[in-house]
Amino acid sequence: MVYSYKEILKKLGSRKNIEQKLKNKKLFRLKKGIYSEEDIVDPMIIISEKYKGAIITMDSAFYYYNLTDVIPLKVYVATSRDARKINDSKVVQYYLNNNILNPGKMQINIDGNNVNIYDRERLLIELIRKRASIPFDYYKEIIRNYRQISDELDMYKIEQYVALFKNEVNLFDILQREVF
């Protein structure tokens, strides 16, 4: 389980107890203000704890959903267009308008921690939108995996998400050609 400084302070009662646990290797400081009882933690959990408003997207989410076997070297997140820049070399930040940020957002539980992530339907839309900036082989691998699970996808959700974007006709056409 990953804790913010406030949460670990509340759990342990005092700074002295925190320092004692850190010294005895019963508690680990993962990043400034982020603590865990384990020394190795999934980077998605750390970033989700540190940046509460961020939503896991793109490569990180594709890997989580087993749509690719390529382990991402960075954590990919979507934030509001007016959000602060995340100054972390291990994070790729996408800025989205508020009207398209939250559709498709869901919470999953990873090792006792709640993580914001896009559902598979929203990720499919993001994949199609950003296809020009994704390596071709990587894009084809993910599309191939989407084809294999196409009967599990909620078409109503996909239609709702596509309708949020200005080029909805083009997006829907590409979806029909490449996935369904």
For the cut 90, the answer to whether the pLDDT of residue 146 exceeds it is yes
The amino acid sitting at 32 is K
Rounded mean pLDDT, 124-143: 96
Residues 6 or more apart whose CB falls under 8 angstroms from that of 51 comprise 77, 79, 86, 91
Spell out the residues 6+ positions from residue 85 whose beta carbon is closer than 8 angstroms to its own: 93
Average of per-residue pLDDT across 162-170: 93
Coil/strand/helix, residue 148: helix
Q: Are 93 and 86 in contact (CB under 8 A)?
A: yes
- On the question of pLDDT at 176 being above 90, the answer is yes
Judge whether residue 163 has pLDDT over 90: yes
pLDDT of residue 65 exceeding 90, the answer is yes
DSSP 8-state symbol, 53: T
pLDDT mean over 113-141: 97
Round the CA-based radius of gyration of the chain to a whole number and report it: 19
Which residue ranges make up each domain of the chain?
Answer: 2-41, 44-178
CA distance 18 to 171: 51
Percent of the chain beyond pLDDT 90?
Answer: 97
For tokens 């960075």, the residue is: 74
Identify the bridge partners of residue 105 per DSSP, sorted by sequence position: 118
Q: What is the mean pLDDT of residues 127-143?
A: 96
Give dist(CA 155, CA 52) in Å, integer. Answer: 29
In this prediction, residue 180 has a pLDDT band, given cuts at 50, 70 and 90, of confident
Mean pLDDT calculated for residue range 48-75: 96
SS3 category, 99: helix
Is residue 115 very low, low, confident or very high in pLDDT (cuts 50, 70, 90)?
very high
Calculate the average pLDDT of the chain: 95
